[in-house]
Structure formats: C-alpha cells, structure tokens
C-alpha cells in the first residue's frame, strides 16, 4: 500500500474527513428516531452537544 511506504515513525495521525460535520447529539437523535426511541439525552462530559 502506498500509505504504508510513507510512514516514518511508530505511528502517524491522519484526519480523513469531510468539510461538513454532524454533532454527536445529531447522530444520537437520528439513531433514536430510527428506532422510535425517546430522544432525551444526558452528556456527562464535554459540551452540550456531546463533543469532547
């Protein structure tokens, strides 16, 4: 694989993502809605939308 030939250290970090994003809360709301569950969430750390 091309990428494996380029690794120089013990590990490398890559952010392979898109310019658009979705919050953890939005993901939870989509999952809960799909399963017809109550969409009340409690995040105990990070921010009000579930990051961190």
pLDDT tens digit sequence for 16-52? 767 788 888 888 889 999 999 887 887 777 676 666 5
Q: Which pTM does this prediction carry? A: 0.50
φ/ψ of residue 14, rounded to 5? -130, 135
Domain ranges of the chain: 13-52
Taking Cα atoms as reference points, which of 24, 22, 23, 2 lies closest to residue 14? Answer: 2
* Nearest-angstrom CA–CA distance, 19 and 28: 20
- How confident is the model at residue 51, as a pLDDT? 62
| Residue given tokens 């750390």 in the structure block | 45
Q: Which residue has better confidence, 24 or 5?
A: 24
* Nearest-angstrom CA–CA distance, 23 and 30: 11
- How confident is the model at residue 12, as a pLDDT? 65
- How confident is the model at residue 5, as a pLDDT? 73
- Cβ pair 28, 34 in contact under 8 A: no
């Amino acid at each position: 694989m091309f990428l494996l030939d380029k690794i120089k250290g013990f590990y490398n970090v890559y952010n392979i993502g898109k310019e658009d994003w979705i919050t953890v809360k939005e993901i939870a709301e989509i999952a809960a809605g799909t399963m017809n569950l109550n969409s009340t969430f409690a995040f105990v750390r990070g921010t009000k939308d579930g990051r961190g």
